Amino acid sequence: MDKFTRRAESSGWLSVRLSRTGQLASLCEYTRVKVVRETGGRTYFTITDGFIGVGAEASLSTANAAKYLSKDGPGGAAKVTVTYSGVPTEEVSPFKGKLKQQWATLSFEGQTATVTLNSVWDGGFRPIPTGIHAILAPDYSHKTISTAPYVSATSGMVGNDVWFPIGLSGSSENSSRYIHVGHLSEGCVTVHQLERWTALYQYLISHRVAGTAGKRIGSLVVQK
């Protein structure tokens, strides 16, 4: 029986126990799993798509499986448009200090959010170029980069440790650029308008491109 994960942690992840090693792995929402058995108070399943633990058997307590595994899968491909807003201008961030930001407006499903495309200008970083790029499924929890100040400042924020990789020019390869929440961009699409992050997260995480084994969320159109 196929089911789909839901977050147990507000940061956006579900911790499952891998059968082979006994270690925990974090799965993002809407990861497809195939339930194989229930025994000893645990529900066992195979992780069947996405980028995390594909092919591995894992388990949850049966009580948690009832809470965090759903029969409802993701919708189709997502689409996000990012439009540059003029030239870089300086901003005093309450979290990161004075930064020169390349601003842009991100649009999705009739909603908008202010984003920054770069704030590090040492020659090694540059804003994401115009074109059509791929949005990939989350690769791992980015909790090592603290988002605690953003969470504290934003009521109801979820998915704060989930970063969506960008495949430049439609590639399926992670370019090391992401869509994520924050006030510092090193070439990522960084959602500076913190109160808009949760809506964008929920939109992106609940969509997948058909026929991509859960590895693609949709498309990112960048324009000037």
Q: Is the pTM here over 0.85, yes or no?
A: yes
Asked if 197 contacts 110 with a C-beta cutoff of 8 angstroms, the reply is: no
Given this model, what pLDDT does residue 122 score? 86
Alpha-carbon torsion 93, 204, 111, 173, what sign? Answer: positive
Tens of pLDDT, residue by residue over 90-147, are 989 999 999 999 999 999 999 999 999 999 998 888 999 999 999 999 999 999 999 9
In one-letter notation, the amino acid at residue 32 is: R
Is domain 2-70 given the CATH code 2.60.40 in the classification? no
Using DSSP's 3-state secondary structure scheme, residue 63 falls into helix
Given a cut of 90, whether residue 194 has pLDDT beyond it is yes
Q: Rounded to the nearest 5°, which phi and psi values hold at 149?
A: -60, -35
Mean pLDDT of 4-30: 97
Q: Which sequence spans correspond to the domains of the chain?
A: 2-70, 78-223
Residue 138 CA to residue 12 CA, distance in Å, equals 10
- Residue 78: pLDDT band by 50, 70, 90 thresholds? very high
Given a cut of 90, whether residue 199 has pLDDT beyond it is yes
